[in-house]
Structure formats: structure tokens, C-alpha cells
């Protein structure tokens, strides 16, 4: 995917997630089936996942290079990133540390959705302005995937929101 395609997908997929969360009844928003995350947990997790990426994209390019090095191989495709992520999940991978969600109350749902939407918009704007080469040379750490390129992290971010969108619907029996 090009940077333009990535920015579009970030906006569209996160908007679809936000609309789905906004349209849930209060009861559905806090429902958890069989110990699964509520819709509020899903929202908080996605927000917690996007914020560090947006923050990293605001740093001068030399900072991630100093901290994490440079890419040693070309970026993997969206499909390859998704396959690797699914493999790690099936091997028992799960959210850890700062990515573990906290409950989101019905009264704070709209505020949290706005925070997520604003963060994704800032991220998408950064992506649109970034040089394609930098997307493939800057490396960032991912808790399950290890060090991956910025382009791969963006591929993951697109897939990730869709994954949690489906999980939320599944929790509701939809």
C-alpha cells in the first residue's frame, strides 16, 4: 500500500469502528460474553495501540533510528504482516502492559471515540506527508511482531482495528 492508501484505510477503518461503537446500546457497550472484552475495552485497547504510533511519527526520523536501528530488509506486505500477527495470536499472544485496556463507561464513550478519531486523523495526516522511503527504513518495536518497519506497523494498525471490530460484534452475537 502507498502512503495515500494507508492514510485512507486508517481513516475509513477506524471510522467504521467508531460508528459501530456509537450505534451500540448502552447495555451492549458494557456487555462481556464469557469473560471477553466489552466494546469499551476494545475501544480503549485500540486507542492505546494508536497513540504510541502517532507519537513515534511526530519524532524526528533520527530518534527511532537511534533507538531501534534501521530496517535490514524490505517491508512485508499487508497480507504478510496479518499472517504473522495471526500466527502470534494463535501461539498465545495477547495484549500486555500498557496495551491492556481499562473499562470505558457509557458516559465517557463519546469522549473516547472522539479522542481515537482525532488521534487517527493526526496519524493519517503524518502518513500523507511522510516520504515513502522513510516508511520502509524506520523501525519500531511491536510487542508481538518484534521490530518492524513503519509501513508494516501501519499495515498492522489497519488490520488491528478490523480485528477488534469483528471481536466486538462477535461478543454481541452479531
DSSP 66-122: HHH-B-SSPPPPHHHHHHHHHHHHHTT----GGGS-----GGGHHHHHHHHHHHHHH
Any idea of the CA torsion for 1, 128, 141, 169, to the nearest 10 degrees?
-70
Determine the Cα angle at 170 with ends 12 and 18, to 5°: 30
Give me the tens of pLDDT residue by residue for the chain, a chain 174 residues long.
Answer: 999 999 999 999 999 999 999 999 999 999 988 889 999 999 999 999 999 999 999 988 889 888 998 999 999 999 999 999 999 999 999 999 999 999 999 999 999 999 999 999 999 999 999 999 999 999 999 999 999 999 999 999 999 999 999 999 998 887
Q: pLDDT value at position 158? A: 98
Q: Do you know the residue count of the chain?
A: 174
Residue with grid cell 506527508, as numbered in its chain: 129
* Helix (H) / strand (E) containing 142: strand 139-142
Q: pLDDT value at position 64? A: 87
Residue with grid cell 492514510, as numbered in its chain: 7
Query: pTM score, two decimals?
Result: 0.95
| Distance separating alpha carbons of residues 30 and 118, to the nearest angstrom | 23
Enumerate domains of the chain plus CATH numbers.
Answer: 3-171 (1.20.120.450)
| Distance separating alpha carbons of residues 155 and 77, to the nearest angstrom | 8
| Distance separating alpha carbons of residues 67 and 74, to the nearest angstrom | 19
Q: pLDDT value at position 140? A: 95
Amino acid at each position: 500500500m502507498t502512503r495515500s492508501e494507508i492514510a485512507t484505510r486508517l481513516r475509513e477503518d477506524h471510522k467504521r469502528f467508531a460508528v459501530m461503537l456509537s450505534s451500540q446500546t448502552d447495555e451492549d457497550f458494557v456487555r462481556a460474553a464469557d469473560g471477553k472484552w466489552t466494546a469499551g475495552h476494545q475501544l480503549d485497547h485500540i486507542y492505546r495501540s494508536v497513540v504510541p504510533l502517532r507519537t513515534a511519527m511526530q519524532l524526528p526520523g533520527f530518534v527511532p533510528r537511534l533507538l531501534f536501528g534501521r530496517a535490514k530488509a524490505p517491508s512485508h506486505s499487508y497480507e504478510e504482516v496479518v499472517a504473522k500477527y495471526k500466527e502470534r495470536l494463535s501461539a498465545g499472544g495477547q495484549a500486555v502492559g500498557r496495551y491492556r485496556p481499562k473499562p470505558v463507561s457509557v458516559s465517557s464513550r463519546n469522549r473516547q471515540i472522539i479522542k481515537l478519531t482525532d488521534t487517527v486523523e493526526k496519524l493519517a495526516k503524518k502518513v500523507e506527508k511522510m516520504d515513502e522511503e522513510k516508511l520502509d527504513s524506520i523501525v519500531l518495536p511491536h510487542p508481538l511482531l518484534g521490530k518492524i518497519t513503519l509501513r508494516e506497523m501501519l499495515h498492522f494498525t489497519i488490520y488491528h482495528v478490523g480485528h477488534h471490530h469483528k471481536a466486538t460484534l462477535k461478543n454481541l452475537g452479531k
